[in-house]
Amino acid sequence: MIHPIRLYGDPVLRRSAAAVDRFDDDLARLADDMIETMHDANGVGLAGPQIGVPKRIFVAAELAPPSPRDGRSFGAQAPHPDTAEVQLDGLGGEHANDDGEHTSDDGDDGPEVLAVHVMVNPEIVERRGVQIAPDGCLSVPGLWVEEMERDAEVRVRFHDLAGAVHERDVAGHFAHVVQHELDHLDGILYFDRLPGDTRRAFLEAHRTELAELQRRAKAHLRELRGADTARP
């Protein structure tokens, strides 16, 4: 099931999400819906609050480094130019492997998706290095920043859908995505991470676009309230 993505101005994006304490079929269905919604939006990451579910869960695509002929660079130093949640075309089909990760078939366009990971109750337990790369967000569509500082490598501890605990070291573009998505679980949007003057300049430069997103977010909330009222 594809869910509408909540936009800047929706209060759910500014709240800390609650820890997941039930690892059941409902959680598995939520993860499937999030993966479907992420692919439909041509994104590489999606957090629970972005579909109005204030739970500590996100899905994230791990992309293969580009080959030299691609003329792109988003390895340890720089993610894909369209970055963490801005549109990525041609992700290709996906299927589940024996480990429960969703892996992608090769496509002719865009970066290859090695796997789509589901991380529940994630936390970063170790950080190393610095990378500078663009950043953007499906909840703030059409806007991005060219230079966002993130940790180059992180160790993330998380539960899988069965409740088992894992730790994994991730680097480069995937580390960027993990940090971006984990921020969503704490009510943080990517431009909140900008230095003060740069953040103020970003908000001023995009005042009109952000106001329109807020208008759309409020309209969607009114629709949801109306639907709830109409239910018997």
Q: What own/partner pairs with CB < 8 Å and gap ≥ 24 does 219-228 have?
A: 220/4, 220/6, 220/7, 220/10, 221/10, 224/52
C-alpha–C-alpha distance, residues 217 and 186, integer Å:
19
Burial of residue 159, with CB atoms counted within 10 A of its CB: 0-12 exposed, 13-18 middle, 19 or more buried: buried
Q: How far, in Å, CA of 26 to CA of 31, rounded?
A: 9
- The single-letter DSSP state of residue 74 is -
* Residues 6+ away with beta carbon under 8 Å from 148: 83, 132, 133, 134, 135, 176, 190, 193, 194
Share in percent of the chain as helix, strand, coil (round to 5): 35, 30, 40
Residues 58, 61, 62, 66, CA torsion sign: negative
CA distances from 3 to 31, 41, 199, 229 (A): 12, 10, 30, 20
- Smallest CA-to-CA distance from 15 within 223, 181, 183 is with 183
Residues annotated catalytic, as ranges: 181
